[in-house]
Amino acid sequence: MSTQSVEQSVDADLDVAPNRWWALAVVALAQLMVVLDGTVVNIALPDAQRALGMSDTDRQWVVTAYALAFGGLLLLGGRIADYWGRKRTFMVGMVGFALASAIGGIAQNSGELFAARALQGVFGALLAPASLSLLQVTFAEGKERAKAFGVYGAIAGGGAAVGLVLGGLLTEYASWRWCLLVNVPVAAVSIVGAVLVLRESKAEGDARYDVPGAASVSLGLAALVFGFTKASEDGWGSVVTIASLIAAVVLLVVFVLIERSSSHPLLPLHIPLHPTRGGAYLTSLLAGAALLGGLLFLTYYFQITLQYSPLKSGVASLPLTAAVLVMAGVVTPLVTRIGPKPLMVVGPIVAAAGMAYLTQISATTSYVSHVLPSMILIGAGLAMLFVPLSNLALVGVGNHDAGAASALVNATQQVGGALGTALFSTIYSSAVASFLARNGADAVAQGNALVHGYTHAFGWAAAAMLLAAVLAAIFIRAKKEDLPTDALVHVG
């Protein structure tokens, strides 16, 4: 496709914001809370499971309920941010997220905890797209915007690992409940900051809501995640699994048909159908699946197989976070020097190499020789992917559709994470059952069977990352000159 320029008018939303770096700090803090909440409870899961009497089958719903509600409602949340006001949506999302976290922190049974996690997802679906679109309208100048998106991308890539560390600290020295309750003071700080430094902005022109589109896509994504989750519990041949997946396909097809004919679509189809943006969303989906699904089984390996305490498990995850942060600093200036495509192709390959090396672990292998180099590779690869990804997903998107495009970035990561968790859980369970059938069910065999299941999950996570690299190579067409500079956005 030949390069064309799409000029955006420099309106009030794109004026240089005097408090823009403080605004970045507020948005980054909120985004960190949302991202790490996808994994902060992972390390606390064994304690929460014992405290609330959850079965092994039900425990994954602590993760899935959050991702299901979050991913299913993000597109609607993005439109609400566009039309109702991004600052207002950000603050309502923050307040609701804090309240849902408090409810989860005092939950007395598994049902209450699942409901609280789903409610967190609902308000996260308001908060996350508002955060990214606030960055877009706050940072109009190219180099500053690259730095801002670099911070955002580092959080997207490293926030999950930060959640593991924080979860370990809180579980060991306080209680698993504080993995949820900690969001309350964090939200309070963010709300005060939002009042002081964020500026309101909203889309101009048509501001009608696409209710049929919102209903069909939300129900379709929910059915898709539910179907994959039930497959991990009941098998792919169960009536509920098949019915859910068929319903998901039908509802998502209906959504596309609605969007094609709507005069005020929830998701204008030109956003995902643009090659570069579409490639960014596909790689985001696969990376979310590999990252969240893979880290969940790494947590189980630490605590169940290696018998690490929650704190030690969190500390053992630190190298991944450190690798993301260090590499993000290296990658951010490279985005505008060599362009985003090389980074988005090489990044998933590096992360896939780390995931693949995890398939070599056993119950007796050394952390230093096997897990540590794997996490460094995964972290470096994620930084190379996520830093340019956040910017590419908004290339050529006008102010009117910023929230919708922002929502799609988060939706692909969250839906990918939910699908990855469910799919890898199925692969893990099948691998464990197959190993025990071949080797018996004594204590040694059971321990080895778990590791066998983990390595199969890591192998599939590596495959997902490699597929992300292939898709990036095919679809990403933007060059360094196509990235936003000042008020001009070039579309490749």
Model confidence over 239-251: pLDDT tens digits? 999 999 999 999 9
Q: What is the pLDDT of residue 142?
A: 64
Answering whether pTM is above 0.85, one says: no
Q: What is the pLDDT of residue 283?
A: 92
**pLDDT, averaged in runs of 10, over the chain (492 residues):** 37 56 86 76 82 80 81 82 88 94 94 94 87 77 73 69 79 89 90 88 73 88 83 84 95 93 85 86 90 81 88 85 86 85 94 96 92 94 86 72 73 82 85 88 83 94 95 84 44 30
What SS3 string covers the chain?
A: CCCEEEECCCCHHHCCCCCHHHHHHHHHHHHHHHHHCCCCCCCCHHHHHHHHCCCCCHHHHHHHHHHHHHHHHHHHHHHHHHHHCHHHHHHHHHHHHHHHHHHHHCCCCHHHHHHHHHHHHHHHHHHHHHHHHHHHHHCCCHHHHHHHHHHHHHHHHHHHHHHHHHHHHHHHHCCCCHHHHCHHHHHHHHHHHHHHHCCCCCCCCCCCCCHHHHHHHHHHHHHHHHHHHHHHHHCCCCHHHHHHHHHHHHHHHHHHHHHHHCCCCCCCCHHHHCHHHHHHHHHHHHHHHHHHHHHHHHHHHHHHHCCCCHHHHHHHCHHHHHHHHHHHHHHHHHHHHHCHHHHHHHHHHHHHHHHHHHHHCCCCCCHHHHHHHHHHHHHHHHHHHHHHHHHHCCCCCCHHHHHHHHHHHHHHHHHHHHHHHHHHHHHHHHHHHHHHHHHCCCHHHHHHHHHHHHHHHHHHHHHHHHHHHHHHHHHCCCCHHHCCECCEEEEC
Q: What is the pLDDT of residue 487?
A: 32
Q: What is the pLDDT of residue 158?
A: 65
Q: What is the pLDDT of residue 16?
A: 54
